[in-house]
Amino acid sequence: MAKFFGTNGIRGVFSEDFTLEFVHDMTLAIGTYFERGPILIGYDGRESSPIICKVVSSALNSIGIDCNVAGIVPTPCLEFGVKSLGYSGGIMITASHNPPQYNGIKPAAKDGVEISRDDELIIEDIYFKKNWITNPSKWGTTGTEERTIETYLNGILSHIDSSLIESKKFRVVLDLGNGAQAVSAPDFCKKLQCETFLVNQSIDGNFPGRGSEPTPQNLSTLSQTVLEKKADVGIAFDGDGDRSIFCDDKGNILTGDKSALLLTQHILKKNPNSLVVTCLNSGSNIENISEKFNSKVLRTKVGSVEVSRKMVPTNALIGFEENGGFMYGKHNQVRDGCMTLGLMLDLLATSGKSLSDEISLLPPSFTTKDKVSCPSEKVDELISSLKGEFPNSDITDGIKISDDPKNWVMIRPSGTEPIVRVYAEAESQEKLDSLMTEYLEKVKTIISR
């Protein structure tokens, strides 16, 4: 297992376990893995990001690798730029939805997709052995890349019916979460002739508006604004803009699973006989919807890297996580908040129905998740204790305890924080509530031993 790479890149508390010295040496390892430039660098709005960017670019230059800095961009914008503008790789400086004191780095391969788990281990091996490039024949240089955002938005527009969307004059509320989509999503909506209302629009690495992770509990302002402005749809992005949570026209916040079902149905109508990739913790309705369109579902461990890297060799059309991370293979096999917004507007323009009406037509589903603080040294004890109690469980990723496909609980350690996440699905709300109550109590009891 990787020591530094978690579920999604490397993250830590800046200047504590994520120091400039660590960033420098890890960048030498990443640069050696890439072998050659140019490398595209982008970063989110955290206060430490510009400093880290300077260390990353100078470390690359010191081993003879050229790089260009795109500045503040969403993670999917950086990734699409790597692929479309011909870079050898990319480094995104972000801690995504983690609190402000965190930062991190996320390498992207030349295909614009996060590097694989195997490649993460290669980079860590170079890091531990200090086996990086030395004595380059020439120093690298650092320039700027001005084309990234425009390239990204044009790429998204090429996959949706722009003229039909423009004709609808949609009213859209964007909760930008003080994050990186502030540099792209408003312009995207403007290109589509949407009347746009902004919430938490100023980029601020302290995320003062509602925090860096959109959750049903902290999106009341989005919900209220949708109702006040009589908007067709609202959307909230996370700190680095790769995930999106929707709000319907009645002010209801949708789970990532629900919006993914809707978008999958919309895409598969036009593209039957396709492949969908999702994680073990997504709800079971995706199999039902995919079957209608003669399409198959592949399940992976939790994490966007797992989904993305499964999509590439299988040529999957769709990938998603239950947390609002949606991937459209024709654009790029990565989570992309703005591409997801484009697909939702395309769906609404095509169907002529309201988002709330579209949701009401989905098969009922009852899913939820919660988290429990858990020191890393307690994780193995927790999983083995549950495995002892439920020996027939799936331990591919944490532990998934199932009665049947519609009734299950999954417990796994976070790859980014000292917590365990508890996911559940049930055939009714009552069953879901009792399952969660039972297992949250069970998890807390085992951890406190």
AA identity, residue 388: G
CA–CA separation, 198 vs 310, rounded Å? 35
273 token code pair = 């006989």
Which one, of 140, 153, 158, 120, lies nearest residue 69 by Cα?
Answer: 140
Instruction: Give the mean pLDDT of 122-151.
Output: 97
- What angle, rounded to 10 degrees, do the helices at 337-351 and 256-270 form? 60
Each residue's pLDDT tens digit, 386-398 = 999 999 999 999 9
Q: With residue 106 as reference, give the H or E element that holds it.
A: strand 102-108
**CB neighbourhood size of 431 (10 A):** 16
Return the SS3 of 245. strand
Cα radius of gyration (the chain): 21
Helices (H), 334-396: 337-351, 355-360, 376-389
Q: Kindly give, in sequence order, each residue whose CB lies less than 8 Å from that of residue 13, ignoring residues fewer than 6 positions away.
A: 101, 102
Confidence of residue 145 (pLDDT cuts 50, 70, 90): very high
> Is the model's pLDDT at 95 over the cut of 90?
yes
CA–CA separation, 81 vs 43, rounded Å? 13
Measured CA to CA in angstroms, residue 25 lies from 10, 99, 198, 257, 445 at distances of 13, 24, 40, 39, 41
Confidence of residue 416 (pLDDT cuts 50, 70, 90): confident
Instruction: Give the mean pLDDT of 95-101.
Output: 93
The pLDDT score that the predictor gives to residue 417 is 81
β 195-199/67-72 pair status:
unpaired
Each residue's pLDDT tens digit, 184-231 = 999 999 999 999 999 999 999 999 999 999 998 999 999 999 999 999
Return the SS3 of 360. helix
Confidence of residue 415 (pLDDT cuts 50, 70, 90): confident
If you average pLDDT over every residue of the chain, what do you get?
96
**Is the omega angle on the peptide bond into residue 313 within 30 degrees of 0, that is, cis?**
no
CA–CA separation, 290 vs 264, rounded Å? 8
Beta-bridge partner residues of 372: 420
In DSSP notation, 118-177 reads HHHHHHHHHHHHT----S-SS---EEE--SHHHHHHHHHHTTS-HHHHHHHT-EEEEE-T
Residues composing the chain: 449
CA–CA separation, 71 vs 80, rounded Å? 15
HSE of 74, CA atoms in CB hemisphere, 13 A: 31
Count Cβ atoms within 10 A of the Cβ of residue 86 and give its class: 0-12 exposed, 13-18 middle, 19 or more buried: exposed
Beta-bridge partner residues of 112: none
Q: Kindly give, in sequence order, each residue whose CB lies less than 8 Å from that of residue 315, ignoring residues fewer than 6 positions away.
A: 275, 329
β 171-175/233-237 pair status:
parallel
Q: Kindly give, in sequence order, each residue whose CB lies less than 8 Å from that of residue 37, ignoring residues fewer than 6 positions away.
A: 60, 65, 66, 67, 87, 88, 140
0.75 exceeded by the pTM? yes
Instruction: Give the mean pLDDT of 305-333.
Output: 97
Instruction: Give the mean pLDDT of 168-173.
Output: 98
- Answer yes or no: are the C-beta atoms of 261 and 274 closer than 8 Å: no
Q: With residue 258 as reference, give the H or E element that holds it.
A: helix 256-270
**CB neighbourhood size of 11 (10 A):** 24
Catalytic residues: 96
Each residue's pLDDT tens digit, 358-376 = 999 999 889 999 999 999 8
Residue position matching structure tokens 């801690």: 95
Each residue's pLDDT tens digit, 227-256 = 999 999 999 999 999 999 999 999 999 999
